[in-house]
Structure 1
Amino acid sequence: MKSKIGLIFFYLFTSLSLYAPSAHDALHLLEGKKNLIHVAIIGAGPAGLSAAIPPTRSGYHTVIFEGLKPGGELMNAMVVENWPGVKKDSGAHTMNALEKQVKQFGAHFAPQEVRSVDFSQWPFVLTLSDGTSINALTVIAATGASQKKLGFEGEDTYFGKGIFTCGICDSSFAREKDIIIIGGNDIAIQRALQLASLARNITFIVPGPRMTAQKSMLRKLKGMKNIHYLYNKKIIGVKGEETKISHAEIFDCKTQKYSIIKTDSIFLSTGLTPNSELFKEHLPLDQHKCIKLREGRSQKTPIDGIMAAGCVSDPVYRQVAVVIGDGTKAGMDALTFLSLWGLDGVSQKAIHKDLYIPPASTSIQHIQTVSELNNATKRTQLPLLVEFYSPLCPSCRKMEAPLLALREKYKNLVKILKVKVDQDQQTTLIDKQNITIIPAFVLFNKGKEIKRLEGEATQETLSSFIDTAAKGRSKKRTTPLKNS
Structure 2
Amino acid sequence: MDKIYDLVIAGGGPAGLSAAVYAARSKLKTLVLESDSAGGQLTDYEEMENYPGFTDITAPELAKNFKEHARKFGALTADGEVQRLDLESSPKKVMTKDGKTYHTRSILIATGAEPRKLDIPGEKELQGRGVSYCATCDAEFFVDLDVMVVGNGNSAVEEAIYLTNFARRVTLVVIHEEGKMDADSLFQERAYENDKIDFVWNSTLKRIEGDQMVDKAVVENIRTGELQKLDYDGIFIFVGREPSTEILEDTGVELDQSGYIVTDEGMRTNVPGVYAAGDVRQKPVRQVITAAGDGATAAVECQKYLEATEHWRENVLDTESEVIVFFWSPTDDDSLEAMRLLEELEIEEKTDKELVRIDAYGNDFIPDRYGVEEIPTVITIAGGEEKERIIRPTAKDLEGLLA
The TM-score bracket by the shorter chain reads 0.7 to 0.9
- The answer to whether residue 183 in structure 2 is matched with residue 213 in structure 1 is yes
One-letter code of the match for 1:216? Answer: L
Residue 281 (structure 1) aligned with residue 225 (structure 2)? no
Residue in 2 aligned with 1:248?
A: 217
Residues 38 and 64 in structure 2, CA contact (< 8 A), matched pair in contact too: no
Q: CA deviation at 1:323?
A: 1.3
- Corresponding residue number in structure 2 for 1:229: 199
Q: Distance in 2 between matches of 1:314 and 1:302?
A: 13
Question: 1: CA distance between counterparts of 2:161 and 2:282?
Answer: 26
TM-fit CA distance, 1:315: 4.1
- 1:265 pairs with 234, 239, 253, which one? 234
User: Runs of 4+ in structure 1 displaced over 6 angstroms?
Assistant: none
| Pairing 1:342–2:279 present | no
In structure 2, the CA distance between the partners of 1:148 and 1:69, relative to structure 1 (3 Å rule), is: farther
Instruction: Report how far residue 255 of structure 1 moved.
Output: 1.1
Give the counterpart letter for 2:240 in structure 1.
Answer: G
CA contact (8 A) 2:149 2:170 kept: yes
Whole-Å separation in 2 of the counterparts to 1:289 and 1:86: 33
Q: How many angstroms does 1:68 deviate by?
A: 3.3
Once residues 98 and 233 of structure 1 are traced to their aligned partners in structure 2, the CA distance between those partners, rounded to angstroms, is: 39
Equivalent residue for 2:77? 109
Q: What do the CA deviations read for 1:210-243 (whole angstroms, capped 9, x no partner)?
A: 221101112233432211000111111111112x
CA distance in 2, matches of 1:203, 1:259: 14
Q: Tell me the distance in 2 between the aligned counterparts of 1:192 and 1:305.
A: 41
For residues 152-163 of structure 1, what are the structure 2 equivalents within 5 Å?
Answer: 152-163=120-131
Report the alpha carbon displacement of residue 104 of structure 1 after superposing the two structures with TM.
0.6
Q: Work out whether residues 39 and 66 of structure 2, in 8 Å CA contact, stay in contact via their aligned partners in 1.
A: no
Which residue of structure 2 lines up, in the alignment, with residue 182 of structure 1? 150
Provide TM-score, normalisation by structure 2: 0.74
Structure 1, unaligned runs of 5 or more: 1-32, 347-484
Q: Could you say what the CA RMSD is over the residues aligned between the two structures, in angstroms?
A: 1.6
- Are the counterparts in 1 of residues 82 and 95 from structure 2 also a CA contact under 8 Å? yes
* 8 Å CA contact 1:44, 1:65 repeated in 2: yes
Mapped contact 2:263–2:282 kept (Cα < 8 A): no
Question: 2:367 maps to which residue?
Answer: none
* Alignment check: 8 A CA contact 1:288 1:315 kept: no
Alignment of 1:6-85 (within 5 A): 33-68=1-36, 70-85=38-53
**Does the aligned pair in 1 maintain the 2:161–2:194 contact within 8 Å?**
no
Q: Which entry has the higher C-alpha Rg, 1 or 2?
A: 2
**Could you tell me how far apart the structure 2 residues matched to 1:228 and 1:35 are?**
56
CA distance, structure 2, for counterparts of residue 293 and residue 315 of structure 1: 9
Distance 1:324 1:106, change over 3 A: same
Q: Is the 8 A contact 2:51 2:289 kept in 1?
A: yes
Report the CA distance between 1:173 and its aligned residue: 2.4
Q: Distance in 2 between matches of 1:342 and 1:127?
A: 24
Displacement of 1:333 after TM fit? 1.4
* Kept after mapping to 2: 8 A contact 1:79/1:88: no
For 2:225 and 2:160, locate their aligned partners in 1 and report how far apart those are by CA, in whole Å.
Answer: 28
Matches within 5 A, 1:411-450: none
| Structure 2 Cα separation of the partners of residues 54 and 101 of structure 1 | 10
Q: Secondary structure at the match of 1:168?
A: helix
Gaps of at least 5 residues in structure 2 are 315-403
Whole-angstrom CA distance in 2 between matches of 1:187 and 1:69: 20
Work out the CA distance in 1 between the residues paired with 2:59 and 2:230.
32
Alignment of 1:244-393 (within 5 A): 244-282=213-251, 283-294=253-264, 297-342=265-310
More strand by share: 2
1:116-135 equivalent positions in 2, closer than 5 A: 116-135=84-103
Residue by residue over 1:374-418, the C-alpha shift from the partner in whole angstroms, topping out at 9 and shown as x without a partner, is: xxxxxxxxxxxxxxxxxxxxxxxxxxxxxxxxxxxxxxxxxxxxx
